[in-house]
Structure 1
Amino acid sequence: MQIPFRAIIVFHAVARAGSISRAADELRVTPSAVSQQIQALELHLGTALTSRVGRNITLTEAGERYFEMISREIEHVADVTQHVRGIRSATTLTVRAAPSVSSKWLLPRLAGFVNANPDIELRLDGTNEPTDFRKENVDLEIRHGEGSWPGLFVESLGKERFFPLCAPSSFAAGSLSAADLLKYRLIHSVKSQMQWPRWFAEAGLEPVERWKRVLFDRSHMAIDAAVDGLGIGLDSELLAWRELRDGRLVCPVKNPPEVTLTTQWIVCPHGHLRHRKTRTFLDWLRGERDAWSAQHTVQIV
């Protein structure tokens, strides 16, 4: 029996893209031609592989199983073909992460991933807007939020400790009480999930009605401002780990309350986990997360 290889390749492209039109663009054919190939494959197999939901294409249970069984083989054939042609296979991986976690946590670690995976071409998209995976070509996202996004794969980047931070030239580590902070200029990161009123409540204090403050739209700006001596910031050990490690920031409060929160999440559609490039990056990311969690970056006085 003749195997419809062309139709199988077209089905793989549709399942990966989640859209007939996007698959058609990738294969450089018309959407009608893609639909015909899918119908031919379904006729050959004797079962429906896809179904329409509005303008979107979803896989049936049989389609999900079939895609899972053929994906690795097709990727392997593509890699071998590139090798035989005498060129290195380059697969683009697009990762989206907000500017603060990109610059403060992810970028300092990326050399390890890039050097270990020369066949993967990494694109880092530093954007705050949540990804619409149905419309945007993003493989995986590190998303700031509360971790509730139904229908998506969601995994924590790690629990974060939040505490006051300042340059050692401003105040020595452990030289202030929590109540002393109200006398000084406080740096606010306005989009952070952890705000000064919540931290003061954990410390058993009521914030004053009017206080000296300066506000920033991004956590990485607030951290840099604290390093520059502009005031006392409130941020997480995850984002400020390098400044704390290098001694450019210290916690000026003696015995601060233990305030923890999870604000960064690894997010993608479940189907993306079938792709080798996504699995490779996710495994690397988990290793970096676990190594960071095992470290005690700063000892609070």
Structure 2
Amino acid sequence: MTPFRAIAVFYQVATLNSVRAAAQALNVTPSAVSQQLRTLEEQLGTALTITRNRKLHLTEAGERYFELISDNIAGIEAATALIRGTPQSTTLTIRATPTIATKWLLPRIKGFLDENPSIDLRLDGTNEPTDFARDHVDLEIRHGMGRWPGLHVQPLATEHFLPVCSPDFAAASSLTASDITGLRQIRSVKAQIQWPDWFTAQGLTPPKAPRRLSFDRSHMAVDAAAQGLGIALESTLMMDEELRAGRLVIPVSNPPKIPITTQWLACPPSHLTRRRVRRFLDWITIEARNWETETI
């Protein structure tokens, strides 16, 4: 009979993507965890984990086994907590850049919390990409082109980059595209659409020596525009609240819409077996589709 202790240890290792982290969670030594893994692999007759470049990964058999046992182990943990009389909660850790976390996710997250009262949410705001083998992160909202081999990746939403400013700086639809060439242009240096792209889409030659105010974070560019420091070129996803509240307006009539996806939901495929991850993915997918419909 396969020892349940070894199965439970493997579950922790697969969940945390780390022998060391599993050892800390179980209050045992890493060598004890490794021994339990070897015992289970011997019982099953197949390797469940493999180490590449000092990082632990599940083998194909390990991913399949983890998928098969996850719901059962979670159910046992829930039953144990119930018998003990301990209120059960599950922590979901989401990593996202500060801009998407504060400008788009935070204003909507109450809906997820209301629908999932047993889930405690930890929101990790950073621009550093997640090392899922080391970091205790369930899911990342990652900025980029969406090409990360080995991860489950799905788009968050289709965005449009538009020129915006404070209504005190310029009224809505009061400027032409050529007017902007002589005004201070605010930009985020990491944005995938820049002012030359926008001018080209308008059929204009980008100014050779524009006045610029540059930031390395999109939320700073959005805030600078709202404070009347110039005109920003930003994603509708990043300035949704400011546009709705009227703190930002679009000063150009019928600007070209440049559709692009810059934010992606990413995690190891094995994380999709976690109930908390599936619930968040289901919720945020519907939330993003509703947002797209509202902003068309």
Scaled to the shorter chain, the TM-score interval is over 0.9
1:162 and 1:99 map into 2 onto residues whose CA distance is: 19
TM-score by length of 2: 0.94
RMSD of aligned alpha carbons: 1.7
SS of residue paired to 1:188: strand
Q: 1:125 is matched with which residue?
A: 124
Q: 2:278 is matched with which residue?
A: 279
Runs of 5+ in structure 1 lacking a partner?
Answer: none
Could you give the per-residue CA deviations for residues 245-273 of structure 1, whole angstroms, max 9, x where no partner exists? 12221111112122121111111111111
1:104 and 1:116 map into 2 onto residues whose CA distance is: 21
Give the CA deviation at 1:49. Answer: 3.1
Q: Judging changes above 3 Å, is the alpha-carbon distance between structure 1 residues 183 and 54 closer, same or farther for their aligned structure 2 residues?
A: closer
Give the CA deviation at 1:130. Answer: 0.9
Q: Does 1:137 align with 2:136?
A: yes
Letter in 2 for 1:94: T
Could you give the per-residue CA deviations for residues 125-168 of structure 1, whole angstroms, max 9, x where no partner exists? 11011111111111111111111111111111111111110112
SS of residue paired to 2:92: strand
Q: 2:195 is matched with which residue?
A: 196
Runs of 5+ in structure 2 lacking a partner?
Answer: none
Q: Judging changes above 3 Å, is the alpha-carbon distance between structure 1 residues 48 and 171 closer, same or farther for their aligned structure 2 residues?
A: closer
Give the CA deviation at 1:107. Answer: 0.6
Q: 2:11 is matched with which residue?
A: 12
Q: Judging changes above 3 Å, is the alpha-carbon distance between structure 1 residues 235 and 124 closer, same or farther for their aligned structure 2 residues?
A: same
Give the CA deviation at 1:235. Answer: 0.6
Paired residues for 1:230-249 under 5 Å = 230-249=229-248
Q: 1:216 is matched with which residue?
A: 215
TM-score by length of 1: 0.92
Q: Does 1:75 align with 2:74?
A: yes
Q: Judging changes above 3 Å, is the alpha-carbon distance between structure 1 residues 51 and 222 closer, same or farther for their aligned structure 2 residues?
A: closer
Give the CA deviation at 1:293. Answer: 0.9
Structure 1 residue ranges, 4+ long, deviating more than 4 angstroms after superposition: none
Q: 1:294 is matched with which residue?
A: 293
Letter in 1 for 2:168: S
Give the CA deviation at 1:64. Answer: 2.6
Q: 2:60 is matched with which residue?
A: 61
SS of residue paired to 2:106: helix
SS of residue paired to 2:102: helix
1:161 and 1:259 map into 2 onto residues whose CA distance is: 5
Q: Does 1:31 align with 2:30?
A: yes
Q: Does 1:162 align with 2:158?
A: no
